[in-house]
Amino acid sequence: MGALRGWRRVGAAFLCGVLATAAFPPVYAIPALIPAFVGLLWLLDGARGPRGAFGLGWVFGFGHMASGVYWVGLAFLVEAERFGAVAPVAVVGLAALLAVFPALAIAAVHAARWRGPARVALLAAAWLGAEWLRSWALTGFPWNLLGNVWAVSAAPMQLAAVTGVWGLSALTVLAAGAPAVLGEVPAGGAQGRARQIFVAAMVLLPALAWLGGAARLAGAPAPGADPVPGVRLRLVQASIPQKLKWRGDLRLDHVRRQLALTVGPGFERITHVIWPETAVPFLLNREPEIRRLVARAVPPGGLLLTGAPRGIGRETLTQVWNSLFVLDARGEIVAGYDKYHLVPFGEYVPLRGVIDFGKLTQGRMDFSTGPGPRTLNLPGLPPVSPLICYEAIFPGRMVAPGPRPGWLLNVTNDGWFGTSSGPYQHFASARLLAVERACPWPARPIRASRPCSTGMGGSWAASA
């Protein structure tokens, strides 16, 4: 492949990037990572100088990112008459920007001019560094970190309790790129045999992680067991189309629909109810009548946790937040959380004084930034760290300092993206974050006095 030139070389790099995306949810074609990364390394052999290496990495990254975040464009089609023309520009522009990070990693590997196992190890380190940088640069967008492919099962994810998702990403690159060394030397001889041993060892790494995770899970409660005695949650998913969500003549109907779902069969056994992000399409803190209506969803002695916007201002609205409210049976606000990691162009417009562009979410006013992560201590529940929407994709950064919370709650509205791969990938990130913030290795059985999670449902997500 290193001998390819022109459009064939560009096409091969692009296809390798697309192939790598097939390993992510919902496809989980994890073996596809081997030809993707082996092909990338073999193409790197034919790179002409630093610019050629950077360009190769960028084309690979563009294919990888465009096929991984195509669903972003669907959000612009909810109001196609206003934003539809922007959809392809948004996808191409975002993918082009994100492709810079793989390009930097590939350029670093080329600059070192290492060969054999050392080059594969350097690729893993450089890729890991690029992913970390992507999680911070320009507010960060750590979507589809390579370690997320192991959300295919609860067992291999457990390594994240020790290394975070970063360790899983590094392991994945090592295993996927290792076979490339077999094409560098003849199969016979001591050097050839040493490289065969290296490849076998690297390819076995995921299997070892899987076995270790399975051993950890053996000490955890069985799926479906009650990890916190006395707590029974009801997660309500009304499946309201995003196009209809904020229509003035339908907003009350949406609330009543969620109420009907909440008080359905078995409600008498429920202790706490969870509704999704912006499930109540009203400024809940300014609407006492709506709060009294919504309070019908609160179980006796329990609480309702629901997403809704929060606004302040005496006569006119001066600030608004994307918030989570905790309501009791009287409709009183017991606690709350304001989202602080906002979506650019979705919830606010960066450089609004320069960029003349309306945000995708309801209203003309930008959402304000909340004060930061919180752990809520609520009656009848273990301490909980709430997350709203894509806050769940940021490894290790979205939980308040101090004692570890008993559980994470991610409320989200992924109705913007339909049945695309976006919601599946979002859920994978939330599950990995639950493992990362859960009990230290090895796992211990979940007990009421020490609530924790090994990640099998440990991130409870309510989706609209």
Residue spans of alpha helices (H) in 4-48 = 6-21, 33-44
Q: Is the pLDDT of residue 446 over 50?
A: no
Going by C-alpha positions, the residue among 2, 441, 426, 325 that lies closest to residue 180 is: 2
Given a cut of 60, whether residue 447 has pLDDT beyond it is no
16's tokens: 């390798």
Instruction: Label residue 459 by pLDDT band (50, 70, 90).
Output: very low
For the whole model, what pTM was predicted?
0.91
Residue in 257, 255, 426 with CA at minimum distance from that of residue 327: 255
> Residue 224 above 90 pLDDT?
no
Give the mean model confidence (pLDDT) for residues 78-90.
91
* Secondary structure class of 417 (helix, strand, coil): helix
Residue 353 has a pLDDT of 63
Q: CA 97 to CA 63: how far, in whole Å?
A: 12
Checking DSSP bridges between strand 407-412 and strand 333-338, what pairing results, if any? unpaired
First to last CA, the chain: 46
Q: Which of 461, 391, 377 is nearest to 427 (CA)?
A: 461
Q: What number is the average pLDDT over the span 405-417? A: 92
CB atoms under 10 Å from CB of 300, counted, come to: 9
Dihedrals φ, ψ of 387, to 5°? -135, 145
Share of the chain above pLDDT 90, in %: 75
Percent of the chain with pLDDT over 70: 92
* 40 vs 180: CA distance, rounded Å: 9
| Cα–Cα distance measured from residue 2 to residue 15, given in angstroms and rounded to the nearest whole number | 15
Residue 417 pLDDT > 90: yes
Q: Residue 274: pLDDT band by 50, 70, 90 thresholds?
A: very high
How many angstroms separate the CA atoms of 92 and 98, rounded? 10
Closest to 37 measured CA to CA, from 233, 171, 209, 222: 171
pLDDT in tens, 315-346: 788 999 999 999 999 999 999 999 999 998 88
d(CA 33, CA 40): 10
Min mean pLDDT across 31-45, 122-136, 226-240, 301-315 is at 226-240
Instruction: Quick: pLDDT tens for 301-323.
Output: 999 999 999 999 887 889 999 99
In whole angstroms, how large is the CA radius of gyration of the chain? 24
- Tell me if residue 412 falls in helix, strand or coil: strand
E-strand spans in 118-240?
233-235
pLDDT at position 450 is 33
Check if the beta carbon of residue 181 is closer than 8 Å to that of residue 198: yes
Domain assignments of the chain as residue spans, ordered by start: 6-217, 233-463
Mean pLDDT of the chain: 90
351 pLDDT band, cuts 50/70/90, is low
Mean pLDDT of 35-58: 96
Nearest to 171 by CA among 144, 207, 219, 139: 207
315 is annotated as an active-site residue: no
Dump pLDDT digits (tens) for 193-218: 899 999 999 999 999 999 999 999 98
pLDDT band at 456 (very low <50, low <70, confident <90, very high): very low
The mean per-residue pLDDT over the stretch 113-124 comes to 96
For 62, residues 6+ apart whose C-beta sits below 8 A from its C-beta are 14, 17, 95, 96, 99
What would be the CATH architecture of the domain defined by 233-463? 4-Layer Sandwich (3.60)
For 377, phi and psi rounded to 5 degrees?
-105, 105
Report whether 91 contacts 65 (CB < 8 A).
no
pLDDT band at 228 (very low <50, low <70, confident <90, very high): confident
Pull the structure tokens for residue 183: 């094409």
Greater confidence, 402 or 96?
A: 96
Task: Look at residue 24 in the predicted model and tell me its pLDDT.
Answer: 98
Please report which confidence band the pLDDT of residue 358 belongs to, taking 50, 70 and 90 as the band edges: low
Q: Which of 16, 389, 439, 452 is catalytic?
A: 389
Query: 387: Cβ–Cβ under 8 A, 6 or more apart, which residues?
Result: 398, 408, 409, 410, 411, 430, 433
Cα separation, 143 vs 161, whole angstroms: 19
The answer to whether 33 and 40 have CB atoms below 8 angstroms apart is no
DSSP SS3 for 320? strand
- Looking at this protein, which amino acid is placed at residue 345? F
pLDDT at residue 354, rounded to an integer: 63
Set 277, 347, 391, 436: catalytic member = 277
339 counts as catalytic: yes
Tell me the three state secondary structure of residue 142.
coil
Q: Report residue 97 as tokens.
A: 């920007």
Convert 243-276 to b/e letters by CB count within 10 Å (16 or more is b): eebeeeeebeebbeebbebbbeeeeeebbbbbbb
pLDDT tens readout for residues 134-192: 999 989 999 999 999 999 999 999 999 999 999 999 999 999 999 999 988 776 788 88
> Could you say which of 16, 131, 245, 339 is catalytic?
339
- Give the confidence band of 396 by pLDDT, cuts at 50, 70, 90: confident
